[in-house]
Amino acid sequence: MCNENCPCWDKNITHPRICPICDYIFKGNGWDGIDAHYKARHEKNTGELYKDWWSRMCDEHKAKR
């Protein structure tokens, strides 16, 4: 179940997967490329390392579909 700590909280993120920060649409299989995308476009601005940001993602949103 999603919770308020999840980066996708209160957003309609289904398939295709969409970046909860900038609405970039990921192509292919679920979140393929999210780590490189986040590190290149958001890590510096958010001040949060990718591994910490991803660890807050709920199981519902981590799933490929």
**Per-residue pLDDT for 50 more than 80?**
yes
Cβ-in-10-Å burial (0-12, 13-18, 19+) of 57 comes to buried
User: Does any domain span residue 27?
Assistant: no
Residue 32: pLDDT over 70: yes
Domain count, the chain: 1
Q: Is 24 inside any structural domain?
A: no
In angstroms, the CA 51 to CA 29 distance is 20
Asked if residue 64 has pLDDT above 70, the reply is no
In a domain, 50, yes or no: yes
What does the pLDDT average to over 12-40?
91
Domain that holds residue 54: 32-65
Classify residue 22: in a domain, yes or no. no
Is 4 domain-assigned?
A: no
Q: What is the mean pLDDT of residues 10-27?
A: 89
Residue at 58 is within a domain: yes
